[in-house]
Amino acid sequence: MISTRFVLKRLLLLVPVLVGVASLVFAILHLSPGDPALTIAGERASEEFVQQVRESLGLNDPIWVQYGRFLVDAAQFEFGESFIIQRNTPVSEVLTNKLPVTLELAIYGQLIGISLGIPLGILSAVKQDSFTDHTTRIGALAGISVPIFWSGPLLILLFAQVLGWLPTSGRISVLYNVEAIRVTGLVTVDTLLAGEWEMFISAARHMILPATVIGIYSMALISRMMRSSMLEVIRQDYMRTARAKGQGAKITVLKHGFRNAMIPVITVIGIQFGGLLGGAVLTETVFAIGGIGTLLVEAIKVGDYPIVQGTVLTFAFLFTLVNLGVDITYSILDPRIEQ
Amino acid sequence: MSTAPEHPPDERPPLTERATVRLHLVGTALVVGVGVAVVALVGSALFGDVTAAVDTTFALGSLVFGFGLLGWSGAVALGRGIEAMQDHLDTRTGWTEPDARRAMTRILGFGLGVMVGTMLVGSVVFGSIF
């Protein structure tokens, strides 16, 4: 049973994280070249009009007043309207449309990573120094070392161009109108909810390559961690006792070893989620999926500051939420953590 | 992931002592930050545009403050996990969660000091804080 005090303490940590990220975003945007008022007004606008825009944005106030206002707005997730990418559209609306794309990618990538990484790590530990172990370790090292912008195009080349099994880009075939059945924004879930099997298969086929690219990296780290953690657990006295009492090797590993070996692995999964969100920027670009990652890059390029602020803080919020989930899982596996 | 206490609960110093140590840590860095901001702004007032210098110094202060705050909360939230991960992967570097927390506290205190110092000098220049 998880104590409310523990969860509250972890939730409180959200505050400094978000204030820290907000401060960093504020500083970077103020230190970067370019004038938001001039960007909104346009290069050919008169000086009076630019001044009006500056006044309306509050850019003429002292910088600490702007900072305070920014923190208050950030606390309410209120970032105003996009002034370039989707002109006059609230940032929250833009993020609501784009966030599910990246989330879907990260979730499936993580699922692939966990479902492959954990069994491979266990196998590698149980068969230490065997051919299987060496192959898995080489695979894990390769997975960590190969960058997404290289593995992505190679997988496209093999599975889409040469074999023709999977589509090269996008989230779903252009023949389908996924907006008509939008509920969660996750196309695989929405198509399932609507009972549109053909659409679901199309969405799933589109998801395989990008999720695999992200999943390979995730799998590599998880399997490596699982291996070392399981190796440590296997050498414990209680494991030897269980075997001495006549328990089968598989049951001993899965019943007694697995739970204890999972603790550091769960930590890695949580820490890695931030990397997955970051990796999604590259994956979205390679597979032409318009998610929050590509939105952020585009916003930085054109100087759409409200979008940059909103996106970065959403990333930070998601990351801390995932880590809260990890902490709770951690305390379920080992209740001593709560002390 | 979790923040296990540095000492067993019965061996920990009293709350007031711990608070004093932390205040001293932040306070010293804050005073240094205020000093640096004042010197930087006075210097820029002598040689250039004060308004731009106030903006830049405050932004730099918030950058340092944000970095420190994020680093501190990161150390609190993930420090033990990172230590455990380094142990498991046999990649220990001597990095510890308490050391990281202390270092980040100093950094955030310094950043806060720069921001406060800029506010003080800026309010003298502009006439009022708001």
The pLDDT value recorded for residue A115 is 93
CB contact under 8 A, B4 and A339: yes
Q: How confident is the model at residue A337 (pLDDT cuts 50, 70, 90)?
A: low
B74: helix, coil or strand? helix
Mutate to test the interface with B, among A23, A233, A334, A338 (most CBs of B within 10 A): A23
Both structure tokens of A86: 């989707």
Question: Chain B closest CA to A339's CA: distance in Å?
Answer: 7
Instruction: Name chain B contacts of A36, Cβ cutoff 8 Å.
Output: none
> What local confidence, expressed as pLDDT, does residue B79 receive?
80
- State how far residue A285 is from chain B, nearest Cα, in angstroms: 28
Long-range contacts of residues A300-305, Cβ cutoff 8 Å, at least 24 apart = A302/A39, A302/A84, A302/A85, A303/A34, A303/A36, A303/A39, A303/A84, A304/A82, A304/A83, A304/A84, A304/A85, A305/A29, A305/A36
Segment B50-60 shows an average pLDDT of 88
Burial of A50 (C-beta count, 10 Å sphere; 0-12/13-18/19+): middle
CA distance A217 to A282: 13
- CATH 1.10.3720.10 in chain A: give the residue spans: 98-304
The CATH code of domain A98-304 reads: 1.10.3720.10
Rounded mean pLDDT of chain A?
85
The answer to whether residues B84 and A333 touch, using CB atoms and an 8 Å cutoff, is: no
Q: What is the pLDDT of residue A338?
A: 58
Angle between helix A197-234 and B50-89 (nearest 10): 60
Q: What is the pLDDT of residues B84-93, one digit of tens each?
A: 777 777 777 8
pLDDT in tens, A169-218: 888 888 888 888 888 888 889 899 988 899 999 999 999 999 998 888 88
- pLDDT higher at A31 or B3: A31
Q: Which residues of A touch B123 (CB under 8 A)?
A: 62
> Between chains, do B4 and A27 touch, taking CB under 8 Å as contact?
no
Average pLDDT of the residues of chain B: 82
pLDDT above 60 (res A150)? yes
Chain B residues within 8 A of A30 when measuring between CB atoms: 55, 59, 62
Q: Say whether A45 sits in a helix, a strand or coil.
A: coil
Please state the three-class secondary structure of A57-82 as a single string: HCCCCCHHHHHHHHHHHHHCCCCCEC
Tally the C-alpha atoms within 13 A of residue A145's C-alpha that lie toward its C-beta: 6
Q: Which residues does A contribute to its contact with B (CB < 8 Å)?
A: 10, 13, 16-17, 19-28, 30-31, 62-65, 67, 224-225, 228-229, 232, 263-264, 266-268, 270-271, 320, 323, 326-327, 330-331, 337-339
Q: Residue B51 corresponds to which amino acid?
A: T
Number of other CB atoms surrounding residue B45 within 10 Å: 14
What is the distance in angstroms between the Cα of B81 and the nearest Cα belonging to chain A? 6
Q: What is the pLDDT of residue B10?
A: 57
**Chain-chain contact of A264 with B88 (C-beta, under 8 angstroms):** yes
What would you report as the CA-atom Rg of chain A, rounded to the nearest whole angstrom? 24
User: What is this model's ipTM?
Assistant: 0.81
pTM: 0.76
Residue A2: Cβ within 10 Å count: 15
pLDDT tens readout for residues B104-121: 999 999 999 999 999 998
Given a cut of 90, is residue B94 above it in pLDDT?
no
Crossing angle between the packed helical segments B50-89 and A305-333, to the nearest 10 degrees: 30
Of the pLDDT bands very low, low, confident and very high (cuts 50, 70, 90), residue B127 is low
pLDDT given for residue B130 in this prediction: 53
Residues in chain B with CB shorter than 8 Å from the CB of A69 are none
B46 vs A275 pLDDT, higher one: B46
H or E element in which residue B120 lies:
helix B97-126
Q: Distance, in angstroms, between B113 CA and closest chain A CA?
A: 13
From chain A, the residues in CB contact with B122 under 8 A are 62-64
pLDDT of A335 strictly over 80: no
The answer to whether residue B129 scores a pLDDT higher than 60 is no
Q: What is the pLDDT of residues A246-304, one digit of tens each?
A: 888 888 888 888 888 888 888 788 777 777 777 777 888 888 888 888 888 888 888 78
Which residues of chain A make contact with B1, given a CB cutoff of 8 A?
266-267, 270, 323, 326-327, 330, 337
Sort A85 into a burial class: Cβ within 10 Å, 0-12 / 13-18 / 19+: middle
**Contact state of B81 with A271 under an 8 Å Cβ cutoff:** yes
Chain B partners within 8 Å of A26 (Cβ): 59, 62, 66
